[in-house]
Amino acid sequence: MTSSRLPTMRPRSRDDCSDCFRHVSDPEWQQFKIAKEGEQVGDEEVLKGFGYFDKSSTSVESAAQPPSCPKSCTVCSGQYRTLHSQAHIHILRYETALSDTDATNQISNSLKAIRANFGAIGQLMQQYGDTFVKRWSKKSIEKRYKLLMSVMPKAYKRGGEGVSLSKISCSNLADCRIALLLPWLNIEYLSQDPHSLFALLHTRTINSLSSWALFDQYQLAGSFSQGALSVAYNPHCVEINGGDDVAFGALVPWDMERAHRRDIIGFPMAQLIFDSQKLLSSYLKDTVEIVLQNGLEEATRGDCNWMKLTERGFRADSDSSSFQRRPMPFATPPTLHLTKMLETFRSRHASAKDEAELLQTDPAFAKDLLSTAERSMVHKAGCDHVRSSMLPSLMTDSLSRLQMMFQICEQINLTQKTLQKEPEHVQPSEYAIAVRTLDAVLAGFFEELLAKSRRLSLHLGLFDEHFHFGLCGCDIPIATRKSDKDPVFNALNAMYGHNRDACDLPGHFIHQAQSHSDRLPLKLSECLSDMAAVDEAVMSIRCSHPSFGAPEVATIPVIAEKHQECMHWRTVAYDDHVTQNIKKFQPQLSRQLEKFIKTPLADSKINLKSVANFDASHEKLGAFWSEYREARMSLLKEKDCPEDLLPEAMETLRFGLSKEYIDSRENERCEILAAVKEKEDASRRRQLSTPSKSRMPQCPVNELHQTVWGSLVVQETPRSRLQLKEKVKTRPDVPTPQPTRIEDPLQNAPENDILNENEDRIQVSSNTMDIVHRMFVTYGKHMTGNVRWNVFVAAMEDAGLAAEHDNGGSEVTFRDIKRGKGSIVFHAPHPDPRINPICMRAYGKRLQRQLDWSYDLFVERE
């Protein structure tokens, strides 16, 4: 601490604790907490290390010594409280000091209760699993909610509500303890999805207590560091590695190497972990017993249905497309699998690449994104400066996401290569450094995504009713009853105020926001999905045994500067310069976008006006990206970017200049022109086939006609006129090629070649062929109207793709199990589960790029 000035707010006494959490947010208190050991602050010296602070000088009856690490050690300060903090911040003092015997008994009793509860649950499910599944599933949401409230009345009611430290005082800390011990558990989720309880029961009973220990620690880290959870003190550590054998839970002396590997955890934090697991096991046992308490003598014993549910991952049915991945506490314990992690982010990199290409080459896709932002209050109420910066930033966000996913993939690949060396060349320290660096990279990108999520929620108008937009569009939150009860608003706010070093990980807040997908624009849903993937990757690293050490806390630019030897970090400094200074080019970028927005798009009609709109919309979109390329190149040269790095720094802007795009655009234009010509030819043929009026017999109206029955008055009616009309098809669904001379195929192509060509094509139903037509043909009657999401999924499965949900939310991965071409990720539309023609065309372009699909690849099944 550079200043000798004491904080303006001195520690409170027990009788005056209304502002006991000021140390969390007050900058002066935060500076005071991180003062160096031995430093003189005013009249007092900063106390060293860890231990038990008591003004009465009460000694601790223990044979062990407290940690010898300095108070700045991030690992030890997450398991013990520093003497300096205890001396000046009352809420951070230990409740009491336990002797070794009392500490051993406390841990032992907690373990016995946890094992007894989970053992009872396992036995009940083995005997009456089918009965429990049937009874719980048949209950309505209201009845499930009421039952859970009777079992766990002090748990969180909703996933996004959380406890605000500003509303807590010493007097009500005890009432908040249960909710703070299980911050990820909420009654709303358990009652709305009946299978969530099944998944929670299964994963906690079949996995060892040690496999969940580090996960539970991270969920409790915030409340422990802030003082919201009271704990007792003992200098010993507790064994948490090694499964559920006799050694697990044993008290052992502090050892720096084992403590930093997290094989052992300090008693204060271990006490909270076991309290949390004990509380959860008690809740689950009571819930199962209440559901099964009546009529067991008549119930049929057995667990066949229960076992079937476990085999299919507790999906509601066998249809993979209807399953959403469960949040982390309801799935398997976090495990580090670099190969799986790399596959996840490679899929996201491919998705980001597709999005960047579509925004640079597809006017309809770009205009669809911009139209959402134009309706937001920020855009309407903001000044010219806000409006000029808002829309260009939405367009260029795709470039940042593409670069982010590329760098994450490269860093994972680099970490994997460190482990894949020959066994005799693998250095544990080298691998640990690589993993810590990967952890820091992921954490840095999480902070960037966090800022992006808030910006998108404002720019896309998600919370217009909760904000007052002042001068220049500055957002000022308005605390209202409506905002207090908005789960998405609360969840995003909780994440935005998140700090990884002093708060629990925000996985459950992300899931809470994703669970209300009907509220989220697609762009924001995509951002939350990326956050969930990054958060899961971080948890898999930090919860692995042994621990790789504390991660480096740094921003992406700092990490890139330290790792310039890695190719994927070379352009970061120049990218940051562009991001920070692009605002001076925003007026001209905004003008180009305004011209593009005013230009009509080519529609499904087949006429020359559609061709003109097609050309104009592509031209205006290209003009915006051309302006951005010039601005980016100017800023890169301003930063003295080396000539050999310029192509790499401009790589994300190549799509609008690629030969593939130019050829595809020209082919699409030619197809529309061919359809226009075919329509005109059909119209001429119709005119020639219609008899002229001079050749038709003229019968005056109301003239008497002689018949065998006498005279008949013939009167012209609307119906008689309609009957004279002949319906002629004026345009085909696909342009008819001009007739050419067809030679005998037997003389020019072997029969085997014809058979092989048919075998390579994918045979699909007529309904699937209609979906294919919508994705790859831009005009005709099939282009009008939307497609329901379940119809699209069924068509993809008919074409040889398997659908599965990843990371919760709306994201669905389609894997090519027929041709083995890889996988592609789509987001299910919401709140209306229908895909508009613009998205259908975008899906087609992405499938063409990633899975090599085309219209000619498919043939209708006979």
Cα(541)–Cα(117) distance, integer angstroms: 30
Q: 152-161, 410-419, 481-490, 816-825: which has the minimum mean pLDDT?
A: 481-490
Specify the pLDDT at position 701.
47
Establish if 747 belongs to a structural domain: no
User: Residues 229-254: what's their mean pLDDT?
Assistant: 86
Among 569, 596, 614, identify where a domain stops. Answer: 569
Assign 464 a pLDDT band (cuts: 50, 70, 90): low
Specify the pLDDT at position 560.
87
Establish if 177 belongs to a structural domain: yes
Assign 815 a pLDDT band (cuts: 50, 70, 90): confident
Do residue 295 and residue 362 come from a single domain?
A: no
Specify the pLDDT at position 708.
44
Specify the pLDDT at position 687.
82
- Type of residue at 655: F
Do residue 527 and residue 670 come from a single domain?
A: no
**What stretches of 306-439 adopt beta strand conformation (E)?**
none
**High-pLDDT (> 90) share of the chain, %:** 25
Assign 55 a pLDDT band (cuts: 50, 70, 90): low
pLDDT tens digits for 650-675?
999 999 898 888 988 888 888 888 88
Mean of the per-residue pLDDT values of the chain: 78
Establish if 548 belongs to a structural domain: yes
User: Residues 104-122: what's their mean pLDDT?
Assistant: 95
Closest CA to 185 of 210, 207, 213, 152: 152
Cα(539)–Cα(415) distance, integer angstroms: 16
Instruction: Say whether pLDDT at 197 is over 80.
Output: yes
Among 634, 662, 684, identify where a domain stops. Answer: 684
Cα(702)–Cα(432) distance, integer angstroms: 101
Q: For residue 37, what is the enclosing H or E element?
A: none
| Of 162 and 622, more confident | 622
| Of 846 and 693, more confident | 846
pLDDT tens digits for 259-285?
988 889 999 999 999 999 999 999 999
Closest CA to 235 of 392, 404, 98: 98
Do residue 261 and residue 158 come from a single domain?
A: yes
Specify the pLDDT at position 17.
57
Assign 1 a pLDDT band (cuts: 50, 70, 90): very low
pLDDT tens digits for 467-520?
555 444 444 455 455 555 666 676 666 666 544 443 444 566 676 666 655 567
Q: 180-189, 275-284, 709-718: which has the minimum mean pLDDT?
A: 709-718
Specify the pLDDT at position 501.
42
Establish if 701 belongs to a structural domain: no
Assign 839 a pLDDT band (cuts: 50, 70, 90): confident
DSSP string spanning 675-736? HHHHHHHHHHHHHHHSPPGGGSPP--TT-EEEETTEEEE----HHHHHHH--------SSPP
Q: What is the count of structural domains for the chain?
A: 5
Do residue 246 and residue 312 come from a single domain?
A: yes
Instruction: Say whether pLDDT at 726 is over 50.
Output: no
Instruction: Say whether pLDDT at 754 is over 50.
Output: no
- Of 516-520, 616-620, 761-765, 840-844, where does the model show the most confidence? 616-620
Q: 374-383, 622-631, 768-777: which has the minimum mean pLDDT?
A: 374-383
Establish if 8 belongs to a structural domain: no
Specify the pLDDT at position 861.
85
**Is there a cis peptide before residue 829, judged by omega within 30 degrees of 0?**
no
Q: 241-245, 282-286, 316-320, 415-419: which has the minimum mean pLDDT?
A: 316-320
Task: Say what angle helices 384-419 and 522-542 make with each other, to 10 degrees.
Answer: 30
Domain, as residue range, for 48: 22-92
Do residue 557 and residue 650 come from a single domain?
A: no
| Of 635 and 554, more confident | 635
Establish if 751 belongs to a structural domain: no
Do residue 518 and residue 548 come from a single domain?
A: yes
Instruction: Say whether pLDDT at 725 is over 80.
Output: no
Establish if 722 belongs to a structural domain: no
Do residue 301 and residue 369 come from a single domain?
A: no
Do residue 526 and residue 397 come from a single domain?
A: yes
pLDDT tens digits for 558-598?
888 888 888 889 899 999 999 889 988 988 998 999 899 89
**Is there a cis peptide before residue 546, judged by omega within 30 degrees of 0?**
yes
In 10 A of CB 819, how many CB atoms? 15
Do residue 561 and residue 658 come from a single domain?
A: no
**High-pLDDT (> 70) share of the chain, %:** 73
Establish if 708 belongs to a structural domain: no
DSSP letter, residue 82 = B
pLDDT tens digits for 326-348?
778 888 888 899 998 998 899 88
Specify the pLDDT at position 453.
85
Distances (CA, A) of 307 to 127, 128, 202, 310, 581: 12, 12, 10, 5, 59
Q: 73-87, 190-204, 306-320: which has the minimum mean pLDDT?
A: 306-320
Among 92, 114, 135, identify where a domain stops. Answer: 92
Distances (CA, A) of 684 to 367, 416, 730: 37, 67, 10
Do residue 76 and residue 167 come from a single domain?
A: no
Do residue 250 and residue 345 come from a single domain?
A: no
Instruction: Say whether pLDDT at 722 is over 50.
Output: no
Cβ contacts of residue 547 below 8 Å, gap of 6+?
214, 260, 261, 262
pLDDT tens digits for 629-655?
999 999 999 999 999 999 999 999 999
Task: Say what angle helices 363-374 and 586-598 make with each other, to 10 degrees.
Answer: 110
Specify the pLDDT at position 711.
47
Distances (CA, A) of 679 to 482, 728, 779: 56, 11, 12
Closest CA to 604 of 783, 825, 410: 783
pLDDT tens digits for 303-330?
888 888 888 777 655 444 444 567 788 8
- 680: Cα separation from own chain's centroid: 49
Do residue 315 and residue 452 come from a single domain?
A: no
Specify the pLDDT at position 463.
67
